Amino acid sequence: MIYSVMLEGAKSMGAGAATIASAGAAIGIGNVFSSSIHSVARNPSLAKQLFGYAILSFALTKLSHCVCVCVCVCVCVCVIYIYIYIYKTKYPNELKTLKFP
Partner 1 sequence: MLLTLSLVLLLLHFVTKKGGGNSVPNVWQSLVELIYDFMLNLVNEQIGGLSGNVKQKFFPCILVTFTFLLFRNLQGMIPYSFTVTSHFLITLGLLFSIFIGITIVGFQRNGLHFLSFSLPTTVPLPLAPFLVLLELIPHCFRALRSGIRLFANMMAGHSSVKILSGFTWTMLCMNDLLYFIGDLGPLFIVLALTGLELGVAILQAYVFTILICIYLNDAINLHQNSFLFIIERKRGIYA
What residue ranges bind partner 1 (CB under 8 A)? 55-56, 58-60, 62-63, 65-70, 73
Specify the residue, 65 or 98, whose C-beta has the smaller distance to partner 1.
65
Quote the least distance from Cβ 90 to partner 1, whole Å.
Answer: 28
Specify the residue, 76 or 98, whose C-beta has the smaller distance to partner 1.
76
Q: How many whole angstroms separate alpha carbon 5 and alpha carbon 39?
A: 53
Instruction: State CA 59 to chain mean position distance.
Output: 16
DSSP H/E element including 100: none
**Exposure of 91 in the CB half-sphere (CA atoms within 13 A):** 7
Specify the residue, 65 or 84, whose C-beta has the smaller distance to partner 1.
65
